[in-house]
Each structure stands twice: as structure tokens, then as C-alpha cells.
Amino acid sequence: MLSLVRRSGSRLQGVALLGPDPRGVRQSLGALCILAVTSVIAGVVLGQSHGRLAELPGLLLLVPAAIALPGKIFGALGSRLGTAIHTGTFRLSLRSSSLVGQNVRAAMVLTMAMSLVLALLASAAASMLGVEGAIGVADYVAISVVGGTLAAVLVTLVTLGMAAASVRWGLDPDNVTAPVVTAAGDVLALPALVLASYLVRHDVVTPVVAGLVAALTAGSLAGASRSKAPLLRTVLRESMPVLALAGFLSLMAGVAVENRFDVFSDRPVLLVLIPGFLATAGALGGILANRLSSKLHLGLIGPSVVPQRQARTDVGVTMGLALPVFALLALVSQGAGSLVDLAGPGLGRLVGVSLVGGVLALAVVVSVAYYGTIAAVRFGVDPDSVGIPTVTAVLDLVGALALVFAIQALGAG
């Protein structure tokens, strides 16, 4: 097994990475720029898949929630590992009894369980909305669980790699983990879902695959719940309710996009923008939630209703990072759309949509990240387990609504 000595806590503290120093800001900005660029890959896949989405009515309901799921689960995993790095308890070992081993197993079980929940919720939503010719529940289960699990295996490697890189190169995981893990989730989850979509609408194959993955998910969850590993059980107990609520909110983002599918279908560059826009808003909240969580664990701030000075400084830094990243996202989306000949509203309007929607979403980012983290502490729950899922879930819904509002307000639809 891999191992890494416990040398990280003092090293990171020694370079003042918990404060809003210029190096920390550069790390966050660099990671967010990577997110903005790489998420466009997922956006291009989504933009070019509008024909496939039309062939499988109701699938778009699932897409925002499904591509956001790895960021929620593995962002929280990265946050827990980041806290272990800061406190000097991190050791990169995959043994089942180790901190990392229990966390990784919990993340995989949560991925399968929540993918199944999302599939059932999406099927119910399609029925309630009366989506004409919508795919069936077995189709949703096969796409969601198979695609989600495939992406999760790869995102696990990215998350562990970021933790190891943080220790080796003195990076602050609070600044870089959320954007990089979110980027990896976006890039990997959507192609995995598209690939899994070819398992559906087969009379024999689809029900068999859906039944097998549902049974495997139930068995994995039952085994993990009865495990003697205390951290594994704690992560599952604290994460499941939050992720269930997060899945519902993210699904509502899919409803918002599905209701405006005609606009996105006519101007597929707007589809290119969606994954990066939602991911950037969520990553900004994730960075803020991570930093606040670490400060709470280390006693640098308290869970007060009025943010203390260090918390206010982190809020200011987060707001300063947002505008250039949202502008970059629009530029990259327009460029990528032009390369693959996707129609759009024009560069000026696309930048306006991204900035206006981003500012609206940012106001919610700050409030949810701060008060969600504080609420977790006051209720005796580890903020590392609930902070990022809560922030990104709310931002999936708010971000989708803000984006649709900006499109309508600026006449880009």
C-alpha cells in the first residue's frame, strides 16, 4: 500500500496557507481556471448530445444532478482529507481500517446509493411533469448507477492524487481540491452517462442491468452500514440525509433546464456553458466552505451568527475570484462552441449571461457556504461531510435558475 508520512500539518501552517495570502489566492484562481477550461469539455459533450437527449425524453432531468454528484461526494472526501492534512493525521493508506480506506469505501457506497436515488427521483419527476415518451425507471437506474460508478472510480484517483500532491508540494487542499475534483467529476461524469445511455431501451438488457446494479447497491449499503469501521459508518450516517436533499435540489435544476430545452436546443452553446457555470458556482462555495471548515476545526474562528474577521476576509477573496472566472468560462465556451460549429447567442451576450447569472448565484454561494458550515457545527455534524454537498446542491438549483433568468433578461434565448 501507498503511505505518506504525517508531515503535512506543520508544513502547511508554516507557509500561512490558511490565511488569504497571495499564494493561496493564486492557487484558488489557478484551480478555478482549470475548472472553467476542463468543464467546457463536458459542455461540448452535452452540446453535441442534444440529439441523444431528444431521443431519450426526460434524460435531461437527470443530467445536472448526475454530473454534480461526484463533486458533492468527492469534494466532501477531499475536504475531510484536507482537514486531516492540516491537523497532521493524514496517511495515504488504502487499508480498510485506515482513515483514507474508510473514506474511499464510503464515497463509493454513497455514489452507488445516491445514483440509485437520483434515478428514482428523476423517473418520478418525469411522470409528474408529464414528459411525453419519457424513458422508464429501469432506463434511469441503468444510466445513473452505471455511469455514476464508472465516473466515481476515476474521480477517486484524482481526489487521492490531489491529497498526495498537497502534501508533497505544500499546496493548501482547501484552495485546490474542490475546483479540481469538481472539474474531474464534470469531465468524467457526463461522458460516462452518455456511454451508459446506450444500455437503455433494450427489452432484455436494460431490466437485467438495472436489477443487478440495484441489488449490488443495496448489498453494498447494507454491508457498509453493518461494518465495524466507525469512520465509515459515521460518514454514511452524516452524508446520506444531506446528499438525498442535495439530489432533490439538483434534480430541480434539471427541471428548470428541461422546461427550457427548446432554447438550449436551438442555441447549443448555452448547453456548453451549463456544466462549467454550475461547477464554478459550486466550486467557489466549496472553496469557501473548505476554508471555513478548517478554521473551525483549528479554532481560528467560532460558529457565530455574524462572520468574524477571518471569515469575512475569506468571503471577500471568494467574491474577488468569481468575476474573472465566470468571464473566462463564457469566452472558453464560445470558443469551444465555434470549433464544433454550435449555434449561440453571440460572444457579448454569452459573457453577459455568465456574469449576470454568476453574480446572482454568488450572493447565494456566500450565505449558504457560511451559514451551512456554521449550522453543521452547531448541530454536532462534521462540516467536512455536509458543507460541500449542501453548498453545491443549493447552487445547482440556484445556478440553473440564475442562468435561465440571465438568458431571458439579456434576450439570449
DSSP string, 4-71: --S-HHHHHHHTTTTS--HHHHHHHHHHHHHHHHHHHHHHHHHHHTHHHHHHSTTHHHHHHHHHHHHH
pLDDT level of residue 213 (50, 70, 90 thresholds): very high
* 223-251: average pLDDT: 86
Asked, for residue 91, whether it belongs to a domain, the answer is: yes
Residue 6 lies in a domain: no
Give pLDDT, residue 387. 63
**Distance between CA 147 and CA 115 in Å, rounded?**
9
Residue 303 is predicted with a pLDDT of 81
257 closest CA partner among 270, 243, 244: 270
Q: Supply 220's cell numbers.
A: 453494498
> Is the predicted pLDDT of residue 76 greater than 90, yes or no?
no
Contacts of 361 (CB under 8 A, 6+ apart): 281, 395, 398, 399, 402
CB distance 128 to 36 below 8 Å: no
Q: Which residue has better confidence, 160 or 181? A: 160
The predicted pLDDT at position 206 comes to 94
226, 275, 269: which is closest to 250 by C-alpha?
Answer: 275
Label residue 88 by pLDDT band (50, 70, 90): confident
Q: Which of 50-59, 106-115, 150-159, 251-260 has the lowest mean pLDDT?
A: 251-260
Instruction: Give the mean pLDDT of 194-207.
Output: 90
> Could you give the CA distance from residue 319 to residue 208 in angstroms, rounded to a whole number?
48
Start-to-end Cα distance in the chain: 53
Q: Is residue 36 within 8 Å of 325, Cβ to Cβ?
A: yes
Mean per-residue pLDDT, 163-177: 73
Tell me the pLDDT tens digit for each residue of 362-387.
Answer: 888 788 888 888 887 777 777 666 66
Given a cut of 70, whether residue 5 has pLDDT beyond it is no
Inter-residue contact 178 to 283 (CB < 8 Å): yes
Lowest mean per-residue pLDDT among 86-100, 141-155, 179-193, 341-355: 86-100
For residues 131 and 412, which has the higher predicted lDDT (pLDDT)? 131
Q: What is the pLDDT of residue 87?
A: 72
Mean pLDDT of all residues in 226-254:
85
**Higher-confidence residue: 262 or 331?**
331
CA–CA separation, 369 and 286 (whole Å): 7
**Nearest-angstrom CA–CA distance, 388 and 71:** 8
Mean pLDDT, to the nearest integer, of 98-119? 92
Q: Are 358 and 322 in contact (CB under 8 A)?
A: yes
Q: For residue 1, is it within any domain?
A: no
What is the rounded average pLDDT of the residues 338-359? 89
Answer yes or no: is pLDDT of 116 > 70: yes
Q: Which of 64-78, 189-203, 212-226 has the lowest mean pLDDT?
A: 64-78
Higher pLDDT, 305 or 88: 305
Report the range of poorest mean pLDDT among 152-156, 188-192, 253-257, 343-347: 253-257
Which of 124, 146, 151, 126 is CA-nearest to residue 211? 146
Q: Find all residues with CB under 8 Å of 373, minimum gap 6, and list them.
A: 289, 292, 293, 296, 383, 387
Residue 177 has a pLDDT of 67
- Among the residue ranges 18-27, 282-291, 404-413, the one predicted with the least confidence is 18-27
Q: Taking residues 305-312, what's their average pLDDT?
A: 84
- Identify which of 116-120, 160-164, 405-409 has the greatest average pLDDT: 116-120
Alpha-carbon separation of residue 209 from 95, 117, 143, 222 (angstroms): 30, 16, 10, 20
Structural domain contains residue 23: yes
Q: How far apart are CA 216 and CA 255, in angstroms?
A: 29
Q: Amino acid letter at 160? A: L
Whether 2 maps to a domain, the answer reads no
The rounded percent of the chain whose pLDDT value lies above 90 is 19
Residue 240 has pLDDT above 60, yes or no: yes
What is the pLDDT at residue 394?
78
∠ CA(262), CA(278), CA(52), 5° rounding? Answer: 40
What is the SS3 string spanning 268-323? CHHHHHHHHHHHHHHHHHHHHHHHHHHHHHHCCCCCCCCCCHHHHHHHHHHHHHHH
Q: What is the Cα–Cα distance from 78 to 289, expressed in whole angstroms?
A: 12
Q: Is residue 10 part of a domain?
A: no
pLDDT, average across residues 34-60: 79
> What are the φ and ψ backbone dihedral angles of 308, each rounded to 5 degrees?
-75, 175
Band (pLDDT 50/70/90 cuts) for residue 239 is confident
Query: In which domain, by residue range, is 300 found?
Result: 19-409
Q: What is the mean pLDDT of residues 217-237?
A: 90
At 338, the pLDDT band (50, 70, 90 cuts) reads confident
Number of separate domains in the chain: 1
Q: Is residue 322 part of a domain?
A: yes
Residue 55 lies in a domain: yes
Residue pair 144/116 in contact by the 8 Å Cβ criterion: yes
Instruction: Measure the CA–CA gap between 339 and 43, rounded to whole angstroms.
Output: 13
- If one compares 19 and 156, the residue with the highest pLDDT of the two is 156
Closest CA relative to residue 103, chosen from 119, 139, 79: 79
Which candidate, 386, 310, 319, places its Cα nearest to that of 359? Answer: 319
